Every structure is written in C-alpha cells, then in structure tokens.
C-alpha cells in the first residue's frame, strides 16, 4: 500500500513535469549556454579548455540544478497538495524522498545525455569524461537532497530564490572541491577513487538524514 502510494506520487510528478516542459528545459538551457560561452570567452586554446573544463561543467551543473530546485515543492505548496501529503497515512519523509528522486531524475537525465557533446566542446579527455560522469552521478543527488532542505525552508516565502542560493552554495563548496579534484587527477591519469569515496560518503550521509530535515521543514513552513 505504501509502495502504491509512492508510485502514485512518482507518476504524478512525472506527469506534472512533462506538462510544464518549458520550465523543465530552463535549467538545461542555462547549463548548455554557460558551457558554450566559456570557450568563446577564454579563447579556443585546447590546453586552457581542458584545464578549466571539469570545473566549468561542475559550476554550471550546480547553478542549473539550483535554478530548477525551486520548483520542487512550490506548486504543491501553492495548491494545497502538500497539506494533503502531510495529512495522509503515508509518512511525509517517504513522499519527500520520492519527490526529490523524481525531480533529480527529470533534471539530471537530460543533463547526462547532453554532456558528451559539452565535454567535446571543452576538450576533455576520455578519462576526464569518465571521472566527470562518475562525480556527477554521485554528486548531483547530494545537491538535490541537501538543496531540498533549503527549498523546504523557503517554500513559504515569496521570491526565496536568491536566499536559497545564498543558503546552499556554501554547503556545496566541499562537493565542488572534491569533484573537480577527481577530474584533475583523472586528467593526470592518477587514481581518483578517494575523492569518489568521499563524495559517496557525503551522499549516503545526506540520503540518510536529509529526508527527516526536509519533512520537518515542510511541516514548519505550514504554520
């Protein structure tokens, strides 16, 4: 019964995302635009691009995910669906996990699909590309889960967007450091498992604890 309910939440969120496809595309377009502008701005020298490439993609990924993040609970809060979620027999933190994962899936899959092209733009080597994909795979769910706490806290405020970025960006600095350091190691053909392991540990930690924090923040934002 719980599985059925969570599946219903999943299906509903997918349907909603596809009915506002323009909003879904916004973060992706932002991501693509930032990365295409970089080679034009810093010059087309392949060495420079290769050196900054990993970092550029990561910064663009964080900012574009944050851009799409606000949508996560906004509509549910506005139309009262959130109230019905809270007053349902299904624990709120499970609903929240499904919502965050669905949101992540809808935003990150297109980003993954387009990234080989962008890696080519920035002259990333195959090793760097593999490292980039692995760090994105481990790091972006972390952004979604931790970011969702901030979104849940600011959902009752109007125009919480800038506040959200101010709250969240400092938290993502460690992630950014380890992710770019993994890509740098890969570019020198050095092992980068330690960095991946640390990002993985941060991810597991956030998956374990953030659903409670998100659910609590959502309840607080109701009163």
Per rule CB under 8 A, count of chain residues that contact another protein: 31
Q: Verify binding: residue 36, another protein, rule CB under 8 A.
A: no
List 92, 122, 165, 202, residue binding another protein (CB under 8 A)? 92
Q: Verify binding: residue 174, another protein, rule CB under 8 A.
A: no
Nearer to another protein, 86 or 189 (CB): 86
- 60-89 positions binding another protein, by CB under 8 A: 75, 78-81, 83-89
Q: Verify binding: residue 158, another protein, rule CB under 8 A.
A: no
Query: Are the C-beta atoms of residues 166 and 87 closer than 8 Å to each other?
Result: no
Q: Verify binding: residue 21, another protein, rule CB under 8 A.
A: no
Token digits of residue 32: 């693509």
C-alpha of 100 from chain center: 9
Cβ-in-10-Å burial (0-12, 13-18, 19+) of 139 comes to buried
Q: In the complex, what is the shortest distance from the CB of residue 196 to another protein, in angstroms, rounded to a whole number?
A: 37
Q: How far apart are CA 69 and CA 30, in angstroms?
A: 13
Give how far Cα 219 sits from Cα of 85, 92, 163, Å. 10, 9, 20
Radius of gyration for the alpha carbons in the chain, expressed in angstroms and rounded: 18
Q: Verify binding: residue 157, another protein, rule CB under 8 A.
A: no
| Binding-site ranges for another protein (CB under 8 A) | 1, 4-5, 7-9, 11-12, 15-16, 19-20, 75, 78-81, 83-92, 95, 219, 222-223
């Amino acid at each position: 019964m719980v599985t059925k309910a969570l599946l219903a939440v999943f299906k509903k969120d997918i349907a909603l995302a596809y009915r506002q496809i323009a909003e879904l595309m916004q973060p992706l377009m932002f991501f693509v635009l930032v990365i295409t502008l970089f080679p034009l701005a810093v010059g087309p020298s392949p060495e420079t691009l290769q050196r900054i490439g990993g970092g550029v993609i990561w910064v663009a990924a964080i900012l574009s995910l944050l851009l799409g993040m606000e949508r996560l609970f906004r509509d549910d809060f506005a139309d009262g669906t959130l109230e019905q979620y809270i007053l349902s027999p299904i624990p709120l933190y499970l609903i929240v996990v499904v919502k965050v994962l669905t949101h992540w899936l809808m935003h990150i899959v297109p980003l993954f699909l387009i990234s080989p092209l962008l890696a080519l733009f920035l002259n990333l080597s195959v090793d760097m590309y593999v490292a980039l994909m692995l760090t994105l795979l481990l790091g972006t769910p972390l952004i979604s889960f931790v970011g969702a706490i901030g979104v849940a806290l600011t959902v009752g405020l109007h125009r919480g967007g800038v506040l959200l970025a101010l709250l969240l960006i400092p938290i993502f600095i460690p992630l950014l450091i380890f992710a770019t350091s993994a890509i740098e190691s890969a570019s020198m053909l050095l092992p980068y498992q330690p960095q991946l392991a640390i990002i993985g540990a941060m991810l597991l930690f956030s998956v374990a604890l953030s659903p409670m924090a998100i659910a609590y923040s959502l309840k607080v934002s109701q009163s």
